[in-house]
Amino acid sequence: MLVSPVAIDSKLPGVGTTIFTVMSKLAADCGAINLSQGFPDFQADPSLFDATLRAMREGRNQYPPMAGMPELRAAIAGKVEVLYGARYDVEREITVTAGATQAIFTAIAAFVRSGDEVVVFEPVYDSYVPAIETVGGKAVFARLKFPDYRPDWDSVRALITGRTRMIIINSPHNPTGSLLCADDLAALAELTRDTGIVVSSFGKTYHITGWKVGYVLAPEALMAEFRKVHQFNVFTVNTPCQIGIADYMRDASRHLGLADFYRHKRDFFRAQLAGSRFELLPSRGTYFQLARYGAISDLPDHDFARWMTREAGVAVIPVSAFYHDGRDDRVVRFCFAKQEATLAAAGEKLRRV
């Protein structure tokens, strides 16, 4: 075996395989019900597939514009105005991306310079900090208050310095399912007035996480800088899926009904756990449910998650994976974006734990 003479000085020496990959593989190996990784186990609306296939057959298979297909950007603008009352210029303020993770990385690469600080809220989704560190930035951690996972804005304010370049938030929050209320948004606006870039994705809205299509909204000056990076790390996103999604979005009920759709699944899943020893925390958004397990075990959450997968037959995510210092509140996360039959089968197993 030849040994390479090249010395690799890793930019991310502490990064290994994500907890989602680890737990999904363990679930597959053990034949467990996978409530760990956040993806649906049900199909999207067939009419979305029909619209995408129609675009392929019509020959819409070559490079789209770098910023995205005009019809999809127009559909995004219409959706955002109806839902949030915000207007964005289709040509200059909306860009289609290869999912939200790419969009977040591109935004960080476009604006964060070596030595800059970025405030993140932990428990923090695991792609944020590596992206910050890859471009030479430093993550600064604002801790959401347990057990309701609300921000402490005085603490956030104290973290902001002359080096602060960006604050990353996501609401509804992943991984906790908490939601910023009106007072939170007012406090955030006070800290970040006259700035703003928004990232979103169609994956969880239309149950197509594998398509990896998302978008960014930003004022023209910020978007111009975003696109400078976007055109060279992705350039553009596949044409037929963009056209298919744009056609599908003509019926606004398909996204306006999403909250009720997942509220029903949340309530169904919580009802399944009503007779269990898990203590359910509030779930105000996303499709995740957090639960304390102190009445069941005193194992650390990573060990408990592995035990759950192997012995109870249900895979979960240990929430300590989302803390930079491994803080462990003995809490695990379930994903309830599943068919009711899947949730019922999981509930039967969980009530026996």
The answer on 221 and 171 residing in a single domain is yes
Which residue, 254, 286, 304, sits at the end of a domain?
254
Query: Are 93 and 193 members of one domain?
Result: yes
Q: What is the pTM of this model?
A: 0.92
Is residue 7 in some structural domain?
A: no
Q: For 32-54, what is the mean pLDDT?
A: 95
Q: Which of these ranges, 1-10, 61-70, 124-133, has the smallest mean pLDDT? A: 1-10
Residue 187 forms part of a structural domain: yes
Other Cβ atoms within 10 Å of 249 Cβ, number? 22
Indicate whether 103 and 245 sit together in one domain: yes
Q: 264: exposed, middle or buried (C-beta count within 10 Å: 0-12, 13-18, 19+)?
A: exposed
Q: What is the pLDDT of residues 45-59, one digit of tens each?
A: 999 999 999 999 999
Query: Residue 279: which H helix or E strand, with range?
Result: strand 279-280
Decide if 215 is inside a domain.
yes
Whether 4 maps to a domain, the answer reads no
Same domain, 215 and 261: no
Element (H, E) at 317: strand 317-318
Q: Which of 191, 224, 254 is the last residue of a domain?
A: 254
State the CATH number of the domain containing residue 233.
Answer: 3.40.640.10
The answer on 320 and 177 residing in a single domain is: no
The rounded distance, in Å, linking the Cα atoms of 265 and 267 is 5
Find, among 299, 335, 295, the residue nearest to 315 by Cα: 335
Question: Please, what is the average pLDDT of the chain?
Answer: 94
187 with 261, same domain: the answer is: no
* Unique residue bearing structure tokens 């000056």: 221
For the chain, how many structural domains are there in total? 2
Q: In whole angstroms, what is the distance from residue 255 CA to residue 206 CA?
A: 8
Please check the confidence at residue 3 and state whether its pLDDT lies above 70.
Answer: no
Residue 103, domain member (yes or no): yes
**Tokens at 118, concatenated:** 């970025």
At 6 the pLDDT is 67
Q: Do residues 212 and 342 share a domain? A: no
Say whether both 199 and 328 belong to one domain.
Answer: no
Assigned token pair, 196: 């703003």
**pLDDT of 311 strictly over 80:** yes
308 belongs to a structural domain:
yes
Are residues 26 and 75 located together in one domain of the fold? no
pLDDT per residue over 270-303, tens digit each? Answer: 999 999 999 999 999 999 999 999 999 999 999 9
* Confidence check: pLDDT of 351 > 60: yes
Instruction: Report the DSSP pairing between strands 117-122 and 138-143.
Output: parallel
Per-residue pLDDT for 64 more than 60?
Answer: yes
Domain around 28: 19-44+256-351
8 assigned to some structural domain = no
Whether 218 and 326 share a structural domain: no
Do 112 and 236 fall within a single domain? yes
In this structure, are 262 and 247 located in the same domain?
Answer: no
